[in-house]
Homo-oligomer: A and B are copies of this chain.
Amino acid sequence: MVVFAGQGDARRSMALLWRTPGSGGARSGPGPKPGLTVDEIVDAAIAVADAEGMAALSMRAVGERLGRTAMALYTYVPSKSELVDLMYDRALAEMPTAYDLGAGWRAAVTAWAEDGWSFYLRHPWVLQVSQARPVLGPNEYVSLETTLRILRATGLEAGVLRRLVGALVHFVRGAARTIAETRQAPAATGVSDEEWWYARSALLLEVVPDFTERFPMVAWLGAEAQDQPGDASVPYLEREAKATFKVGLTVLLDGIEAIIGRSGHLAGPTRPLGPPGG
């Protein structure tokens, strides 16, 4: 039998994620009582990442917040990367798990997307957790199940549904990422967005005096943006990002409606809409 590299570690991290008995809290045997729990460490780590960004998340920073050294954490968590996995899954628990389909799938998807949007803005670092080797934790699946329950109401077949979920998630994450990164930047660099843009656009015109001739469409769009009135209490970039989110979502939902119309005509009687008994 082939034993893949790290399979032992994989078992431990799965146990941690799913809170298999014995992986979480108080022990019985000899030795000093644990002064911390995995949950406390995960919470502290989330607090650090929320406040100072993923880049500032170090084992030392988390340990300090709990009155320990960096190395103390390794008693509870195998490595930083497993800690990030735990943070990710724990944060995901904040996502709502039920949506009312009474007003139709479109309203439900809109609510879901808005919830995702505000979730990512609450925890911007989540967007930096790689999806390559996904965190197969309980809340990832709860969240996916919730999304699928909504989208099943479109009546589309499984293959299209699967890809639709992907496309929607790509869009929501991408839209949120813009603001998430924007919000990290001032804290990280000590320069506000206004200062930065003011200085940079002055420099741009200095270095590229013929900007308007070289990039007429860009200049035109920029000029039109100036004209818009706006609530000054919300920074311009945030207002614009939210507007992009709304427009994009409308477009996506309109597109889904179009596909539903087509598949209804083309495919005749629809395929089964879910698992037996769903």
Contacts and interface: CB of A to CB of B under 8 A. Distances in A.
Contact of A250 (B132, B221, B224, B259): B259
A136 interface: yes
A164 B184 CA distance: 25
A217 B259 contact: no
Nearest to A214: B141
A203 B250 CA distance: 40
Contact of A191 (B6, B184, B240, B241): B6
B247 A181 contact: no
A275 to B, nearest CB: 4
Contacts of A4: 191, 195-196, 198-199
A216 interface: yes
Contacts of A130: 181, 184-185
A198 B1 CA distance: 13
A259 B158 CA distance: 27
Contacts of A178: 131-132, 166, 170
Given A163-B247, A164-B247, A171-B167, A258 B259 contact: no
Contact of A18 (B159, B208, B251): B208
A15 interface: yes
24 contacts: A4-B198, A5-B190, A5-B191, A10-B199, A10-B203, A11-B203, A14-B203, A15-B207, A132-B181, A145-B217, A152-B217, A159-B224, A162-B240, A164-B248, A166-B175, A169-B174, A170-B171, A170-B178, A217-B274, A219-B275, A251-B259, A254-B254, A257-B258, A258-B258
Interface in A132-177: 132-133, 136, 138, 141-142, 144-145, 148-149, 152, 158-164, 166-167, 169-171, 173-175, 177
A255 interface: yes
A220 B275 contact: yes
A251 B164 contact: yes
Nearest to A18: B207
A133 B187 CA distance: 12
B167 A278 contact: no
A189 interface: yes
A233 interface: no
